[in-house]
């Protein structure tokens, strides 16, 4: 499978715990995006990388959230001191820089904070 993969697919955690999600983009894609999707809503943009550089962060990304893409390939999204409001589907997408930017989405990681 050469699509975008995310791990884990599901995560249940207790409030206050830290969680980390991983995204593996399509190999030749240099852009990587993180989104959050809550029930009944569309994906909300969180952050974006071009290669290893994080170029844009949404104000939705509080201080408890951090994302990295250390070698310009896979990315991690960490949430510290999780809150019940963090429960959502976290989506990763990747694309290749070009005039038309089609983002390819992964299946998502569903986070449930108890």
Q: Which is closer to another protein, CB of 74 or CB of 104?
A: 104
Which tokens go with 19? 């969680």
Cβ(15)–Cβ(83) under 8 Å? yes
Q: Which is closer to another protein, CB of 33 or CB of 65?
A: 33
The least CB distance from residue 28 to another protein, in Å, is: 17
Instruction: Give residues in contact with another protein (CB under 8 A).
Output: 4, 31, 33, 35, 40-45, 48, 50, 55-56, 91, 93, 95, 97, 100-108
Q: How many CB atoms lie within 10 A of CB 34?
A: 27
Q: Which is closer to another protein, CB of 4 or CB of 111?
A: 4
DSSP lists the bridge partners of residue 105 as: 93
C-alpha R_g of the chain? 13
């Amino acid at each position: 499978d050469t699509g975008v993969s995310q791990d884990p697919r599901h995560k249940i955690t207790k409030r206050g715990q830290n969680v980390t999600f991983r995204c593996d983009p399509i190999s030749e894609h240099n852009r990587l995006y993180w989104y959050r999707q809550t029930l009944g809503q569309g994906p909300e943009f969180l952050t974006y990388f071009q290669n290893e550089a994080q170029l844009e962060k949404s104000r939705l990304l509080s201080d408890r959230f951090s994302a990295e893409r250390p070698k310009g390939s896979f990315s991690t999204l960490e949430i510290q001191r999780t809150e019940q409001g963090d429960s959502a589907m976290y989506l990763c997408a990747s694309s290749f820089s070009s005039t038309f930017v089609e983002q390819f989405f992964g299946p998502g990681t569903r986070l449930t904070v108890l």
